Amino acid sequence: MKNQALKKTSFLCMAVLLLCQYAAQSQVRLFLTGGPQVGSVESSGTTAGYGTDVQPFLKGRTSARIGIQADIPFKPASRWALQPGIFFSGKGSLFQKEYDTTGANASPFYYRQTTNKSDYIDIPVQLAYKLPLSKKVNFFLSGGPMISVFYASKTVDELSYYTPPVSQGDFGRTEIRTEETKGETGTDPGKFKSAYFGVSGSAGFDFGPVMLSGFFTRGLSEFDQPTVPGSFYHQTVGGSLSIRIARQKEAISQKPPVVTPEKPGDKDNDGVPDAEDACPDEPGSKATNGCPDRDGDGIPDKDDLCPDVKGLIKYKGCPVPDTDKDGINDEDDACPTVPGVARFKGCPIPDRDHDGVNDEEDLCPDQPGTKENRGCPVVKEETLKKAAEIAASIQFAFGKTTIDPKYHKTLNEIAAMLANDAQLKLSVEGHTDNKGSAERNRLVSQQRADAIRNYLISKGAPAENVTATGFGPDQPVAGNETEAGRAKNRRVVFKLSY
């Protein structure tokens, strides 16, 4: 396989070099051409079920085509031209299908995706006709035969299985199996042919140094040794951008003999004749009309207010000023008299709520707070106390997750707090004792916390400001050895913050 790949690469390189050499020695234009394409396999399998179980699930494979294309006119100013080319082309197909096996012991369904990535060296020879649209733009149509030489192929087969829950409370899982198979050429079934014949066509616009076109290729002979009855052909559709890298030689005109004029006077030997030298006694440059320019900013020293520092003409040779010394010159500084930072165009980092904590570090940029609380206000002590009392009063019936209506009034107070303060956030925590399984307790505590969160949201609390977490028996506040201790552990906790 390595020797075959080396031979194919050598063949492609030699073909490109020969085409470039021919372009350099003849009346042709040579283009580097590339663009996206969609490859597909046009098939007509005759096995049972092929038209219903396979063909409808075949899709195109997106890839690219890149190479060299020549444009050889039949004669100067002719509308007919020959357009041979050599391209590296990605072809193949994509098979995607979901199999429903509901009722089977293994799984309810599985999903299969098979990607065939086949790379070829395409050598089309197209006859083109050009229709002038303007002096510099032609519309062209072209078509002709093509031979495609096999380069490499790889098939990637991906199979995804879904396993249903095996007991209440568990979740399904997905297992993925991926297999890769490299294609080979040969005469055995399933192997690729070394080459196949086809046709190609294109249409587009010729701007001279650039061409834009769409193209189509179709195999006329099968590309492999089929393993099932039927016929299989490669097909591609895509677009190309072509950029000229070589053009036809221009006729060499006979130039008259060069007459060397008499050298004009140049007292300071700076290459600027005295007649054109604004400073004939001081060496300078043509850019400054013969005058010296120590800082090389293109402004003669005699006109430069800062002759040793590069500057601009609008500032008479001096650099752009930076009044506030923040490293951002005044031309780009939205706040030229106040030091700032570049990402705010020279202005200071904003502090919308004026609490002394800039917006980049302020977790509550629209509500004054404290530096210790990262710009957010501190929740009032009476508010924390009220929330704790309400949480402590809420009890759930044994094994139940619904809220007793008698707690609605106090929960409405919490909902009102959250609705009236858009920055206030509430964390609802559910806790249980250790009776029963830990997994069951965690589920019940989560469902109870969710029930309270959903009720608060239904009463106007912002959903994004309320979270619910069930901890089960993991965070006891008393021992679970006595009923009194277990009663303390069965609780709901409200935590307010900004």
What residue ranges of the chain have pLDDT lower than 70? 1-27, 45-51, 98-111, 161-176, 246-256
CA distance 357 to 364: 9
CATH 3.30.1330.60 fits domain 381-497: yes
Domain 2-93+116-149+182-246 grouped into CATH 2.40.160.20: yes
Domain spans of the chain? 2-93+116-149+182-246, 267-303, 381-497
Total length of the chain: 498
Task: Read off the pLDDT of residues 407-439 as tens digits, 9 standing for 90 and up.
Answer: 999 999 999 999 998 889 999 999 998 888 989
Residue type, 202: S
pLDDT at 162: 55
- CB contact at 8 A, 2 and 195: no
pLDDT at residue 2 in the model:
45
Predicted local distance difference test score (pLDDT) of residue 106: 46
pLDDT score recorded for residue 187:
87
Order of strands, sheet of 425-431, starting from the edge strand that comes earlier in the sequence: 466-472, 425-431, 491-497
- pLDDT at residue number 197: 94
**CB-based contact 65:89 (threshold 8 Å):** yes
pLDDT of 121 reads 94
What DSSP state is assigned to residue 50?
I
pLDDT in tens, 331-361: 888 898 888 888 888 888 888 877 788 877 7
Whole-angstrom distance, CA of residue 62 vs CA of residue 93:
9
pLDDT at 127: 94
Amino acid at 26: S
Give the C-alpha separation, 81 to 143, whole Å. 11
3-state secondary structure of 120: strand
pTM (two decimals): 0.45
Q: What is the pLDDT of residue 352?
A: 81
Percent of the chain predicted with pLDDT > 70: 85
Residue 79 neighbours by CB under 8 Å, 6+ apart: 129, 130, 131, 132
pLDDT of 297 reads: 86
Residue pair 262/236 in contact by the 8 Å Cβ criterion = no
Task: Compute CA distances 402 → 156, 200, 407, 444, whole Å.
Answer: 51, 71, 11, 11
Q: Which two tokens stand for residue 450?
A: 């969710």
